[in-house]
Chains A and B, each alone.
Chain A
Amino acid sequence: QSALTQPASVSGSPGQSITISCTGTSSDVGSYNLVSWYQQHPGKAPKLMIYEGSKRPSGVSNRFSGSKSGNTASLTISGLQAEDEADYYCCSYAGSSTLFGGGTKLTVL
Protein backbone atom coordinates (compact mmCIF):
# COMPACT_ATOMS: atom_id res chain seq x y z
CA GLN A 1 0.00 0.00 0.00
CA SER A 2 1.30 3.46 -0.91
CA ALA A 3 0.57 6.74 0.77
CA LEU A 4 -2.07 8.96 -0.76
CA THR A 5 -0.66 11.66 -3.04
CA GLN A 6 -0.94 15.31 -2.07
CA PRO A 7 0.84 18.38 -3.45
CA ALA A 8 3.77 19.33 -1.24
CA SER A 9 2.69 22.93 -1.00
CA VAL A 10 -0.05 25.37 -1.94
CA SER A 11 -0.38 29.08 -1.27
CA GLY A 12 -2.96 31.81 -1.44
CA SER A 13 -3.65 35.34 -0.33
CA PRO A 14 -6.05 36.27 2.45
CA GLY A 15 -9.63 36.09 1.26
CA GLN A 16 -8.85 33.76 -1.64
CA SER A 17 -9.81 30.10 -1.98
CA ILE A 18 -7.47 27.17 -2.35
CA THR A 19 -7.97 23.49 -3.04
CA ILE A 20 -5.75 20.62 -1.92
CA SER A 21 -6.05 17.36 -3.81
CA CYS A 22 -5.56 13.86 -2.45
CA THR A 23 -5.19 11.05 -4.95
CA GLY A 24 -5.52 7.42 -4.04
CA THR A 25 -6.65 4.30 -5.82
CA SER A 26 -9.79 2.25 -6.37
CA SER A 27 -8.82 0.27 -3.24
CA ASP A 28 -8.99 3.22 -0.88
CA VAL A 29 -10.31 6.68 -1.83
CA GLY A 30 -12.29 5.29 -4.73
CA SER A 31 -13.90 2.46 -2.79
CA TYR A 32 -15.07 4.21 0.34
CA ASN A 33 -16.52 7.62 1.15
CA LEU A 34 -14.28 7.64 4.20
CA VAL A 35 -11.75 10.37 3.52
CA SER A 36 -10.86 12.67 6.39
CA TRP A 37 -8.73 15.79 6.50
CA TYR A 38 -6.53 17.07 9.32
CA GLN A 39 -4.95 20.44 10.03
CA GLN A 40 -1.66 20.47 11.92
CA HIS A 41 0.09 23.54 13.26
CA PRO A 42 3.78 23.24 14.23
CA GLY A 43 4.32 21.31 17.42
CA LYS A 44 0.63 20.46 17.76
CA ALA A 45 -1.43 17.33 17.33
CA PRO A 46 -3.49 17.08 14.14
CA LYS A 47 -7.04 18.43 14.25
CA LEU A 48 -9.96 16.83 12.41
CA MET A 49 -11.42 19.24 9.84
CA ILE A 50 -13.48 17.02 7.51
CA TYR A 51 -14.73 13.44 7.86
CA GLU A 52 -16.59 11.02 5.64
CA GLY A 53 -15.57 13.06 2.65
CA SER A 54 -17.55 16.22 3.24
CA LYS A 55 -18.81 16.42 6.81
CA ARG A 56 -17.57 19.08 9.22
CA PRO A 57 -17.18 18.40 12.94
CA SER A 58 -18.85 20.80 15.31
CA GLY A 59 -16.75 23.90 15.72
CA VAL A 60 -14.97 23.73 12.36
CA SER A 61 -15.54 26.77 10.17
CA ASN A 62 -17.81 26.36 7.15
CA ARG A 63 -14.95 27.86 5.12
CA PHE A 64 -13.63 24.29 5.03
CA SER A 65 -15.32 21.87 2.64
CA GLY A 66 -14.53 18.45 1.21
CA SER A 67 -15.47 16.56 -1.90
CA LYS A 68 -14.53 13.49 -3.92
CA SER A 69 -14.47 12.45 -7.54
CA GLY A 70 -13.35 8.97 -8.42
CA ASN A 71 -10.04 8.23 -6.74
CA THR A 72 -9.34 11.86 -5.82
CA ALA A 73 -10.59 13.73 -2.78
CA SER A 74 -10.27 17.48 -2.32
CA LEU A 75 -10.21 19.96 0.54
CA THR A 76 -11.25 23.53 -0.27
CA ILE A 77 -10.62 26.43 2.06
CA SER A 78 -12.45 29.61 1.15
CA GLY A 79 -11.85 33.10 2.51
CA LEU A 80 -8.28 32.26 3.50
CA GLN A 81 -7.16 33.59 6.84
CA ALA A 82 -3.71 33.86 8.36
CA GLU A 83 -4.53 31.18 10.94
CA ASP A 84 -5.21 28.67 8.16
CA GLU A 85 -1.47 28.49 7.49
CA ALA A 86 -0.60 24.93 8.53
CA ASP A 87 0.06 21.44 7.21
CA TYR A 88 -2.93 19.51 5.92
CA TYR A 89 -3.19 15.73 5.68
CA CYS A 90 -5.77 13.58 3.96
CA CYS A 91 -6.55 10.12 5.23
CA SER A 92 -8.58 7.23 3.83
CA TYR A 93 -9.90 3.94 5.10
CA ALA A 94 -8.51 1.16 2.93
CA GLY A 95 -10.26 -1.97 4.10
CA SER A 96 -8.81 -2.97 7.51
CA SER A 97 -5.99 -0.50 6.94
CA THR A 98 -5.68 3.28 6.85
CA LEU A 99 -3.58 5.49 4.61
CA PHE A 100 -2.42 9.06 5.08
CA GLY A 101 -1.32 11.47 2.41
CA GLY A 102 2.16 12.93 2.52
CA GLY A 103 0.86 16.30 3.67
CA THR A 104 0.48 19.72 2.07
CA LYS A 105 1.97 22.89 3.50
CA LEU A 106 -0.44 25.80 3.10
CA THR A 107 1.15 29.22 3.04
CA VAL A 108 -1.04 32.31 3.41
CA LEU A 109 0.79 35.06 1.56
Chain B
Amino acid sequence: QVQLQESGPGLVKPSQTLSLTCTVSGGSISSGSYYWSWIRQPAGKGLEWIGRIYTSGSTNYNPSLKSRVTISVDTSKNQFSLKLSSVTAADTAVYYCAREPYNYDILTGYSGYYFDYWGQGTLVTVSS
Protein backbone atom coordinates (compact mmCIF):
# COMPACT_ATOMS: atom_id res chain seq x y z
CA GLN B 1 0.00 0.00 0.00
CA VAL B 2 1.53 3.26 -1.15
CA GLN B 3 1.67 6.03 1.42
CA LEU B 4 2.69 9.67 1.02
CA GLN B 5 3.72 12.02 3.81
CA GLU B 6 4.33 15.76 3.53
CA SER B 7 6.90 17.47 5.73
CA GLY B 8 8.30 20.96 6.12
CA PRO B 9 7.93 24.21 8.05
CA GLY B 10 4.42 25.16 9.07
CA LEU B 11 5.21 28.86 9.15
CA VAL B 12 6.92 30.89 6.44
CA LYS B 13 7.55 34.64 6.39
CA PRO B 14 6.23 36.77 3.54
CA SER B 15 8.60 37.09 0.56
CA GLN B 16 10.49 33.96 1.61
CA THR B 17 10.46 30.53 -0.04
CA LEU B 18 8.11 27.76 1.03
CA SER B 19 9.78 24.33 0.95
CA LEU B 20 8.00 21.01 1.39
CA THR B 21 9.01 17.40 0.88
CA CYS B 22 6.82 14.39 0.17
CA THR B 23 8.17 11.00 1.22
CA VAL B 24 6.76 7.98 -0.60
CA SER B 25 6.64 4.62 1.15
CA GLY B 26 5.28 1.22 0.18
CA GLY B 27 6.78 1.36 -3.29
CA SER B 28 9.53 2.88 -5.37
CA ILE B 29 8.92 6.37 -6.68
CA SER B 30 10.64 5.24 -9.88
CA SER B 31 8.40 2.26 -10.54
CA GLY B 32 5.53 2.38 -13.00
CA SER B 33 4.02 5.21 -14.99
CA TYR B 34 3.33 7.84 -12.40
CA TYR B 35 3.59 11.54 -12.04
CA TRP B 36 4.08 12.94 -8.56
CA SER B 37 2.03 16.05 -7.86
CA TRP B 38 1.44 18.90 -5.47
CA ILE B 39 -2.03 20.31 -4.78
CA ARG B 40 -3.07 22.96 -2.27
CA GLN B 41 -6.26 24.09 -0.56
CA PRO B 42 -6.71 27.42 1.26
CA ALA B 43 -8.93 27.19 4.29
CA GLY B 44 -12.58 26.97 3.28
CA LYS B 45 -11.73 27.01 -0.42
CA GLY B 46 -11.28 24.58 -3.26
CA LEU B 47 -8.39 22.51 -4.54
CA GLU B 48 -5.70 24.04 -6.74
CA TRP B 49 -3.23 21.97 -8.75
CA ILE B 50 0.31 23.29 -8.38
CA GLY B 51 2.33 20.98 -10.60
CA ARG B 52 3.72 17.51 -11.30
CA ILE B 53 7.02 15.78 -11.86
CA TYR B 54 8.09 12.50 -13.46
CA THR B 55 11.11 10.69 -12.12
CA SER B 56 13.04 11.70 -15.23
CA GLY B 57 12.73 15.25 -13.95
CA SER B 58 10.14 16.33 -16.50
CA THR B 59 7.70 18.83 -14.97
CA ASN B 60 4.41 20.58 -15.64
CA TYR B 61 3.31 23.61 -13.62
CA ASN B 62 0.10 25.57 -13.11
CA PRO B 63 0.50 28.58 -15.41
CA SER B 64 -0.66 30.92 -12.64
CA LEU B 65 2.16 29.76 -10.34
CA LYS B 66 4.82 28.78 -12.87
CA SER B 67 7.10 31.76 -12.26
CA ARG B 68 7.40 30.90 -8.55
CA VAL B 69 7.28 27.08 -8.46
CA THR B 70 9.99 24.46 -8.65
CA ILE B 71 9.27 20.75 -8.18
CA SER B 72 12.18 18.33 -7.92
CA VAL B 73 12.65 14.63 -7.25
CA ASP B 74 15.23 12.60 -5.32
CA THR B 75 14.79 8.97 -6.33
CA SER B 76 17.52 7.80 -3.94
CA LYS B 77 15.41 9.03 -1.01
CA ASN B 78 12.04 8.17 -2.59
CA GLN B 79 11.05 11.81 -2.20
CA PHE B 80 9.89 14.74 -4.25
CA SER B 81 9.84 18.37 -3.21
CA LEU B 82 8.09 21.69 -3.73
CA LYS B 83 9.58 25.14 -3.58
CA LEU B 84 7.35 28.20 -3.88
CA SER B 85 9.16 31.52 -3.86
CA SER B 86 8.09 35.04 -2.90
CA VAL B 87 5.19 33.82 -0.82
CA THR B 88 2.37 36.03 0.43
CA ALA B 89 -0.59 35.46 2.72
CA ALA B 90 -2.48 34.17 -0.32
CA ASP B 91 -0.20 31.12 -0.32
CA THR B 92 -1.44 30.06 3.12
CA ALA B 93 -3.04 26.66 2.57
CA VAL B 94 -3.01 22.97 3.27
CA TYR B 95 -0.53 21.46 0.84
CA TYR B 96 -1.05 17.90 -0.40
CA CYS B 97 1.22 15.60 -2.35
CA ALA B 98 -0.35 12.93 -4.51
CA ARG B 99 0.42 10.13 -6.97
CA GLU B 100 -0.92 10.48 -10.51
CA PRO B 101 -0.98 7.45 -12.84
CA TYR B 102 -0.70 8.26 -16.51
CA ASN B 103 -0.24 6.62 -19.86
CA TYR B 104 -0.24 7.47 -23.51
CA ASP B 105 -0.93 4.96 -26.24
CA ILE B 106 -0.74 5.92 -29.88
CA LEU B 107 -3.92 3.97 -30.59
CA THR B 108 -6.01 4.77 -27.53
CA GLY B 109 -4.60 8.15 -26.55
CA TYR B 110 -4.20 9.45 -23.03
CA SER B 111 -5.28 7.61 -19.90
CA GLY B 112 -4.86 8.17 -16.19
CA TYR B 113 -4.24 11.68 -14.98
CA TYR B 114 -6.08 11.25 -11.72
CA PHE B 115 -4.86 11.32 -8.12
CA ASP B 116 -5.16 7.90 -6.51
CA TYR B 117 -3.02 8.27 -3.40
CA TRP B 118 -2.78 11.43 -1.31
CA GLY B 119 -0.77 12.54 1.66
CA GLN B 120 -2.64 13.70 4.75
CA GLY B 121 -1.80 17.31 3.97
CA THR B 122 0.27 19.87 5.82
CA LEU B 123 -0.80 23.38 6.77
CA VAL B 124 1.58 26.13 5.75
CA THR B 125 0.88 29.61 7.10
CA VAL B 126 2.53 32.67 5.59
CA SER B 127 2.88 35.31 8.28
CA SER B 128 5.50 37.54 9.79
Shortest Cβ gap from B3 to chain A (Å): 12
Restricting to B31-84, which residues have a CB under 8 Å from any CB of A?
Answer: 37, 39, 46-49, 52, 60, 62-64
Can you list, as one digit per residue, whether each of B87-122 has a CB less than 8 Å from chain A (1) or not (0)?
Answer: 000000000100000000000011111111011110
B115 and A36 contact, CB distance less than 8 A? yes
C-alpha gap A48/B99 in the complex (Å): 11
Enumerate chain B residues within 8 angstroms of A98, measured Cβ to Cβ: 37, 49, 52, 62, 113
A89 and B47 contact, CB distance less than 8 A? yes
Can you list, as one digit per residue, whether each of A81-105 has a CB less than 8 Å from chain B (1) or not (0)?
Answer: 0000000010101001111111100
A15 beta carbon closer than 8 Å to chain B: no
C-alpha gap A12/B36 in the complex (Å): 36
Interface size class for chain A?
Answer: 20 to 34
Can you list, as one digit per residue, whether each of A41-85 has a CB less than 8 Å from chain B (1) or not (0)?
Answer: 000011110011000010000000000000000000000000000
Since A34-B112, A34-B113, A98-B113 are in contact, a sample of 5 more A-B pairs with Cβ atoms closer than 8 Å, ordered by chain A residue number, is: A1-B63, A3-B46, A36-B115, A47-B118, A51-B114
- Beta-carbon nearest neighbor of B52 in chain A: A98
Q: Which of A45, A57, A89 contacts B118 (CB 8 A)?
A: A45
Q: Which of B47, B64, B110 contacts A46 (CB 8 A)?
A: B47
A100 and B48 contact, CB distance less than 8 A? yes
B60 and A52 contact, CB distance less than 8 A? no
Shortest Cβ gap from A93 to chain B (Å): 4
A89 and B120 contact, CB distance less than 8 A? no
Given known contacts A100-B46, A100-B47, A101-B46, A34 and B62 CB-to-CB distance under 8 angstroms: no
Q: Which of B49, B116, B121 contacts A48 (CB 8 A)?
A: B116
